[in-house]
Amino acid sequence: MKFNSVRHSLCRLGIPTIASFGFVLAVTGCATNSTGLQPAAPRAGDPALDGAVYLLSEPDFRAILIVARRRLSEVLPACTINAVTVISRDKVEAQFCGNDSGPYGSWSGTFTFERIRGEWKVVDQRGGKPPNNERVII
């Protein structure tokens, strides 16, 4: 009896209603990521974003940029963050100096970030130094 009444209720709703409900569900499902927050979206002046972007929320992306830019200002102040690659929900890499012209252009490198107790921290830094055959005169 219960099966027939459920089937009858669904039939009364009609195909267009069910289809529109499915469409709304699909659209709202795509508007959030696995954390339930708005997905990261670069703005003008932000670095490129690639990798598993759907795993990174907008607040996390902004927090990573703040930490990356602060760290870069200590290491190579004339460089910028060029790209952010999302590896997992708790691990991200930020490339710097890759497209920069000027004295630091060949000093490109990468910061690796991990979420530790809810905060993004630099856990590794590769590059950011002149090649061994390059001498720097100050």
Query: Which of 2-16, 19-33, 107-121 shows the highest mean pLDDT?
Result: 107-121
- The mean per-residue pLDDT over the stretch 5-26 comes to 48
Answer yes or no: are the C-beta atoms of 95 and 110 closer than 8 Å: yes
pLDDT for position 31: 47
Instruction: Give the pTM.
Output: 0.64
The values of phi and psi at residue 69, to 5°, are -70, -35
- Nearest-angstrom CA–CA distance, 95 and 85: 8
Q: What is the pLDDT of residues 59-109, one digit of tens each?
A: 999 999 999 999 988 888 888 899 999 999 999 999 988 765 555 556 788
